[in-house]
């Protein structure tokens, strides 16, 4: 692969590269020396699930790996105990080390659906921060000024609005920046909202007399509602571990305005194939055709072609003939009866009680084909009963003995 082709692959679907000319220089130098670039991405394992929005920078890491470079995943076992304040109006609750350990193992299982394990290093911040004393920490803090941090939108906005801003939160970019020194990163990946933190890494490397890393910033993927950033709390996300039928159905639910966005950031399409999609959209192709292709591609990416075909067939069967899908998630439950609202929320079919009540009152909930319109209804739990919420969410109830999970 020639240099221009490599550069085209790396710059595809990227919002900003800082600075681009330095990246070109690093690529040329790497090619001549045979030393792979070290491409860094840090995660704070604050939960168990990863959605496809989290994987936009990870796809870029895979692009680098395909070109022979090394991906370095930093597990933020220190920063997760602080909580990244970026884009938040309040402080994140800190995690225990045990929570971080459990979450990070589950995170990596999901990241390896995209990354090549043989070209991936997994490093923990405790490797370098675990041996630091107070003098070392103060030395790091002394390399930055308060004025620099007040230029950060998140910090400045919270300060000006009189909202809580802990001193420990100001340390977050410093710690993330030192990670780049510790692992000698050549490139750091992240979403556009991480720009300040990643540039802190460049500054930190310069303070330590190192060659500075390149910031490769990816856009933020909007959720299936087409309005908000993808997130579990808004129930507008597509999880890596969603079953194929759910992935397919969620992609089919996105507004037409997101079709090109999802092709660009949620698939492995190269620039030429993306150009074909753009031309088809410009020519006025039926958006449903493109959505079906998109849904098939995304399912194939995580589950293979056979499961993609099954998901597509299941979708056609469900919406053309209005039948129940052959495969659906199961929810284990111990109780013999339960409030319908409680069941919808606990099973994950609805994000909040309010959403569940609205869906019930709108006639969007049924049990074994029978609509239930009373939001305060208590239903009897029958093993194998099918609970439907909305047009495409199905759940098979499974009675179990002992605690449900």
CA distances from 178 to 42, 72, 138, 140, 184 (A): 12, 14, 13, 8, 10
The pLDDT confidence band at residue 90, using thresholds 50, 70 and 90, is: very low
**Alpha-carbon dihedral sign for residues 12, 15, 21, 25:** negative
Tokens of 275: 């150009």
The domain made up of 232-320 has a fold known as Tyrosyl-Transfer RNA Synthetase (1.10.240)
The pLDDT confidence band at residue 117, using thresholds 50, 70 and 90, is: very high
CA distance 175 to 204: 10
Q: In whole angstroms, how large is the CA radius of gyration of the chain?
A: 23
For 394: left if phi > 0, alpha if psi spans -120 to 50, otherwise beta; the answer is beta
- In terms of C-beta density within 10 A (0-12 exposed, 13-18 middle, 19 or more buried), how is residue 69 classed? buried
CA distance 171 to 255: 39
CA distance 238 to 252: 11
CA distances from 97 to 38, 78, 166 (A): 27, 8, 20
The pLDDT confidence band at residue 405, using thresholds 50, 70 and 90, is: very low
Class of domain 329-399: alpha beta
CA distance 196 to 12: 22
Class of domain 3-218: alpha beta
CA distance 66 to 63: 5
pLDDT, position 337: 87
Question: How does DSSP assign 256-282, residue by residue?
Answer: GGGHHHHHHHHS---HHHHHHHHHHHH
The residue that leads in pLDDT, 156 or 185, is 185
pLDDT in tens, 253-290: 899 999 999 999 999 898 889 999 999 999 999 998 99
pLDDT in tens, 189-244: 999 989 999 999 999 999 999 999 999 999 999 999 888 888 877 788 999 989 99
Domain boundaries, the chain: 3-218, 232-320, 329-399
Reported pTM: 0.74
pLDDT in tens, 10-67: 999 899 999 999 999 999 999 999 999 999 999 887 777 789 999 999 999 999 999 9
Tokens of 111: 């990241």
Would you say 201 and 188 are in contact if contact means Cβ atoms under 8 Å apart? yes
Mean pLDDT lowest among 37-51, 144-158, 356-370: 144-158
Would you say 215 and 68 are in contact if contact means Cβ atoms under 8 Å apart? no
């Amino acid at each position: 692969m020639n240099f221009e082709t490599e550069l085209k692959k790396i710059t595809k679907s990227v919002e900003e590269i800082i600075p681009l000319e330095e990246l070109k220089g690093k690529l040329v130098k790497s090619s001549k020396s045979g030393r792979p670039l070290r491409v860094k991405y840090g995660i704070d394992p604050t939960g168990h699930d990863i959605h496809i929005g989290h994987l936009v920078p990870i796809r870029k890491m895979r692009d680098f790996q395909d070109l022979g470079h090394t991906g370095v995943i930093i597990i933020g076992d220190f920063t997760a105990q602080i909580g990244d304040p970026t884009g938040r109006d309040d402080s994140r609750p800190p995690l225990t080390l045990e929570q971080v350990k459990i979450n990070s193992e589950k995170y990596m299982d999901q990241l390896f659906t995209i990354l090549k394990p043989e070209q991936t290093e997994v490093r923990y911040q405790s490797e370098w921060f675990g041996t630091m004393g107070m003098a070392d920490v103060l030395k790091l803090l002394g390399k930055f000024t308060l004025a620099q941090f007040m230029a950060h939108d998140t910090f400045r906005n919270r300060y000006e609005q009189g909202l809580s801003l802990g001193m420990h939160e100001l340390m977050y970019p410093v710690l993330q920046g030192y990670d780049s020194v510790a692992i000698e990163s050549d490139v750091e990946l992240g979403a556009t909202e991480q720009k300040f933190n990643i540039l802190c890494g460049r500054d930190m490397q310069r303070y330590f007399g190192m060659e500075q890393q390149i910031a490769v910033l990816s856009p933020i993927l909007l959720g299936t509602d087409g309005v908000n950033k993808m997130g579990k709390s808004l129930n507008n996300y597509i999880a890596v571990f969603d079953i194929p039928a759910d992935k397919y159905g969620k992609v089919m639910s996105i507004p037409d305005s997101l079709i090109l966005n999802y092709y660009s950031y949620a698939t492995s399409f190269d620039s030429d194939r993306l150009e074909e999609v753009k031309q088809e959209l410009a020519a006025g192709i039926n958006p449903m055709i493109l959505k079906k292709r998109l849904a098939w591609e995304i399912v194939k990416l995580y589950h293979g072609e056979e499961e993609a075909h099954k998901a597509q067939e299941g979708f056609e069967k469900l919406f053309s003939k209005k039948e129940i899908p052959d495969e659906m998630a199961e929810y284990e439950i111990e109780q013999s009866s339960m409030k319908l609202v409680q069941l919808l929320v606990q099973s994950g079919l609805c994000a909040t009680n309010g959403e569940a009540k609205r869906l019930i009152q709108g006639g969007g909930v049924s049990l074994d084909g029978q609509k239930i319109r009373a939001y305060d209804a208590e239903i009897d739990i029958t093993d194998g009963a099918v609970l439907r919420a909305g047009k495409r969410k199905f759940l098979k109830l499974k009675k179990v003995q002992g605690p449900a999970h």
